[in-house]
Amino acid sequence: MPSQPSTELETFPNPAPERDYWVHIEIPEFTCLCPLTGQPDFATLVLDYVPDQKNLELKALKLYTWSYRNTGAFHEAVTNKILSDMVAATSPRFMRLSAQWYVRGGIFTNVVAEHQSPQWSPSPTVLVPPSGSPGQPMRVR
């Protein structure tokens, strides 16, 4: 049986809950519909998060984003809805969703929404020199 879209976000236990680490996910084929015209809107979703006790399961995430394909939604609304659903599923220490909407009518839109747990304090930023560039610090997060 082929896969079907799903509104369920599955998770799995964080394999290293004692440590802050960054998860970076890019979803380059997100689509939904313009609620005014019904035309398709295309975006790349960029998700960065620091998990607490749960991580997002990637196949479920793919099926979840697929569920928006025939849904009419404004860019700002759908970005915030997706972030809220992911936060509800995982209760992360930190989560940022950036929706980079492709040009339509000469307008490019980037919507960024964030969540930070009130109990979490980020670790200090570490500066590491990039390879081949002695003395030039590089920000690592």
Cβ atoms of 47 and 96 closer than 8 Å: yes
Catalytic annotation, pick one of 20, 34, 48, 52? 34
Instruction: List the beta strands (DSSP E) in the chain.
Output: 11-13, 23-33, 40-50, 54-56, 94-104, 107-116, 126-128, 138-140
Q: Is 34 a catalytic residue?
A: yes
Neighbouring C-alpha atoms within 13 Å toward the C-beta of 139: 3
Q: Is 52 a catalytic residue?
A: no
Q: Give the residue carrying structure tokens 């960029």.
A: 46
Eight-state DSSP code of residue 80: H
**Residues carrying an active site annotation:** 34, 41
